[in-house]
């Protein structure tokens, strides 16, 4: 059994078109959220990039400070070493009895002093003003020290042997104090360099901390504003959604009541039309047949033409009587009220077999005599709709109808061996109508079908308990 040609009676529902105002509100919401979230992302990204930039700058600055400090330290240590070596070479030059070694010490002293002056010149180029001033003072002291010992470097060997000891005691030894002072100043300069580099690093990290703190504050403020705005808007949307849901729920209840009233009115109208057809039209046609019979007795046998016309009228009247009876039974079978649901379904199966040639088999248990009228009518209409769909679309050969009753429910099953269909995708008006009928009496409909494997329609309805109905 097919639920209907999907091209003809498939699901005709379309998605509701949003109202312009609602669509505009949705666009505004998406825009606000996009701006807020995008702003936060941009802010956080800018903070990250700026933090990386500052860290990179601090790292480069630290590397530069360490490199400069290392270079100045090397220069200062070299100057300090050269000063100590110069004192040693002066003493060796003055006291070495060997003239050749004394001359060699003299040359070494001059080379050391040349290197020392080159180191001082290099150190004096520092961009720091304090260190440059300290380097200038250091150079002046070293120059004084060199001026005090340089005359002895031009002495002859005799002058060196005769005046060396006195010169060493009177000039070189006091110069040791100057050398120690210069060495102490070099150490102090080294310490100041390290402290300056450390202070620059601390200042850089302080700036980074301030920038990150401001970025965090701005991000927190933006996030707070966005969260509060989103919460307010979501609450407003929740109220609107609840209001619309209540409207939809109320409309659904009203639609259910209206549908129930419509089905009830439809059944009453069918019952009234069926009774009118059976009582009025049927009686009129029967009276016509009786009058035609009486008229036939009055026509002479020699008048064959009039007799044939009268027989034609009787045949037409008899055919009309049968058609009116069939229409009345289709609208509302009297046996549904007189003999019950099983008899009505069996009659419907015979009629479908007679009209279409389908082999319809009915296996039904005797149902209760006190079934509610709306329940019997509902299952009869479902069986009628299912058989009509089989005859129109299923291309089936046999149909099996089963009606079973338990203590608290009644189950109607209609199975055919037709071409089947995709029950998940095809949903026609007939199926919607059956579901609506069952929903009104608390029943459920299950449709299972696969292409090429037939279709099974199962309608299950609860049977009201008499005590419960009386109590209600």
- Dump the DSSP string for 145-192: HHHHHGGGGG--HHHHHHHHHHHIIIIIHHHHHHHHHHHHHHHHHHHH
What percentage of the chain's residues is helix, strand, coil (to nearest 5)? 75, 10, 15
Q: What is the C-alpha separation between 10 and 426, in angstroms, rounded?
A: 6
Q: Quick one: residue 241, left, alpha or beta (phi over 0 = left, psi -120 to 50 = alpha)?
A: alpha
What is the pLDDT, as a whole number, of residue 167? 80
pLDDT confidence of residue 5: 38
pLDDT at res. 469: 35
Q: What confidence score (pLDDT) does residue 458 get?
A: 92
Q: What is the pLDDT along the chain (472 residues), one digit of tens a residue?
A: 444 433 333 333 334 444 566 677 667 777 777 776 777 777 777 777 776 777 777 777 777 777 777 777 777 777 778 777 877 888 887 787 787 888 888 888 888 888 878 877 777 776 666 666 777 777 777 778 788 778 877 888 888 778 877 887 877 777 667 666 766 776 676 677 667 767 777 776 777 778 777 877 877 787 788 778 777 877 787 888 888 888 888 887 777 667 667 666 666 676 677 666 666 676 777 777 777 777 777 777 777 777 778 778 877 877 777 777 667 666 666 667 667 888 888 888 888 888 888 888 998 876 666 778 778 888 888 888 888 888 888 888 899 999 888 778 889 999 998 888 877 777 776 777 788 888 888 888 888 888 888 889 999 998 876 543 333 3
**448 DSSP β-pair partners:** 456
Other CB atoms within 10 A of residue 233 CB: 15
**360 class by beta-carbon count within 10 Å (0-12 exposed, 13-18 middle, 19+ buried):** buried
Instruction: Tell me which residue of 422, 425, 423, 347 sits closest to 383, measured CA to CA.
Output: 347
- Considering only CA atoms, which of 117, 119, 123, 122 is closest in space to residue 145? 117
H-run or E-run covering 401: strand 398-405
pLDDT value of position 414: 92
| Structure tokens given for 240 | 């609107």
- Give the residue ranges of DSSP H helices in 332-413: 334-338, 341-356, 373-389
State phi, psi for 2 to the nearest 5 degrees. Answer: -100, 145
- For the entire predicted model, the pTM comes to 0.45
Contact between 387 and 352 under an 8 Å Cβ cutoff? The reply is yes
- Residue 393 CA to residue 385 CA, distance in Å, equals 12
Q: Which two tokens stand for residue 198?
A: 């450390």
DSSP string across 288-306? HHHHHHHHHHHS-TT-HHH
How is the beta sheet containing 398-405 ordered, strand by strand?
359-364, 398-405, 409-416, 455-462, 444-449
| Residue 110 neighbours by CB under 8 Å, 6+ apart | 153
**Is the separation of the CB atoms in 113 and 148 below 8 Å?**
no
Return the closest-CA partner of residue 273 out of 341, 349, 339, 324: 324
Q: Is the distance from CB of 424 to CB of 8 less than 8 angstroms?
A: no
Residue 108: other Cβ atoms inside 10 A: 16
Q: How far apart are CA 66 and CA 58, in angstroms?
A: 12
Mind listing the domains of the chain with CATH numbers?
21-226 (1.20.120.1730), 340-472 (3.30.565.10)
Q: Residue holding tokens 């003055």?
A: 94
Q: Is 51 exposed, middle or buried (0-12, 13-18, 19+ CB in 10 A)?
A: middle
Compute the distance between CA of residue 175 and CA of residue 220 in angstroms, rounded to an integer.
67
Helix (H, G, I), strand (E, B) or coil at 286: helix
Write the DSSP symbol of residue 360: E
Q: Which of 167, 107, 114 is nearest to 142 (CA)?
A: 114
């Amino acid at each position: 059994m097919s639920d209907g040609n999907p091209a003809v009676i498939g699901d005709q529902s379309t998605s509701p078109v949003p109202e312009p105002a609602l669509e505009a509100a949705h666009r505004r919401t998406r825009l606000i959220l996009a701006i807020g979230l995008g702003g936060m992302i941009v802010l956080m990204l800018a903070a990250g990039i700026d933090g990386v930039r500052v860290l990179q700058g601090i790292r480069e600055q630290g590397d530069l400070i360490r490199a400069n400090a290392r270079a100045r330290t090397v220069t200062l240590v070299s100057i300090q070493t050269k000063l100590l070596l110069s004192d040693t070479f002066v003493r060796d030059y003055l006291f070495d009895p060997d003239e050749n070694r004394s001359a060699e010490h003299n040359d070494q002293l001059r080379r050391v002093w040349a290197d020392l002056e080159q180191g001082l010149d290099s150190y004096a180029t520092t961009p720091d003003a304090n260190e440059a001033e300290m380097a200038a003072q250091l150079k002046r002291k070293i120059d004084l020290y060199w001026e005090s010992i340089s005359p002895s470097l031009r002495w002859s060997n005799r002058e060196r042997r005769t005046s060396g000891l006195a010169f060493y005691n009177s000039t070189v030894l006091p110069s040791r104090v100057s050398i120690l002072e210069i060495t102490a100043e070099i150490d102090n300069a080294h310490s100041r360099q390290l402290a300056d580099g450390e202070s620059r690093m601390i200042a850089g990290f302080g700036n980074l901390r301030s920038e990150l703190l401001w970025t965090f504050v701005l991000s927190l403020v933006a996030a707070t504003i966005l969260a509060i705005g989103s919460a307010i808007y979501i609450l407003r949307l929740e109220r609107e959604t609840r209001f619309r849901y209540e409207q939809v729920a109320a409309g659904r209840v009203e639609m259910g009541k209206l549908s129930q009233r419509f089905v009830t009115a439809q059944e009453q109208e069918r019952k009234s039309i069926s009774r009118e057809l059976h009582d009025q039209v049927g009686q009129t046609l029967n009276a016509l047949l009786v009058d035609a019979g009486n008229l036939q007795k009055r026509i002479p046998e020699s008048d064959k033409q009039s007799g044939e016309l009268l027989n034609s009228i009787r045949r037409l009247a008899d055919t009309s009587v049968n058609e009116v009876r069939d229409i009345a039974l289709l609208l509302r079978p009297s046996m549904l009220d007189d003999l019950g649901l099983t008899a009505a379904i069996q009659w419907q199966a015979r009629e479908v077999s007679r009209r279409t040639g389908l082999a319809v088999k009915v296996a039904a248990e005797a149902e209760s005599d006190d079934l509610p009228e709306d329940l019997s009518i509902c299952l009869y209409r479902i069986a009628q709709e299912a058989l009509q769909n089989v005859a129109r679309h299923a291309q089936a050969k046999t149909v099996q109808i089963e009606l079973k009753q338990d203590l608290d429910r009644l189950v109607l099953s209609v199975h055919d061996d037709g071409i089947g269909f995709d029950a998940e995708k095809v949903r026609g008006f007939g199926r919607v109508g059956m579901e609506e009928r069952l929903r009104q009496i608390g029943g459920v409909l299950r449709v299972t079908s696969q292409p090429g494997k037939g279709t099974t329609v199962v309608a299950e309805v609860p049977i009201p308990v008499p005590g419960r109905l009386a109590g209600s």
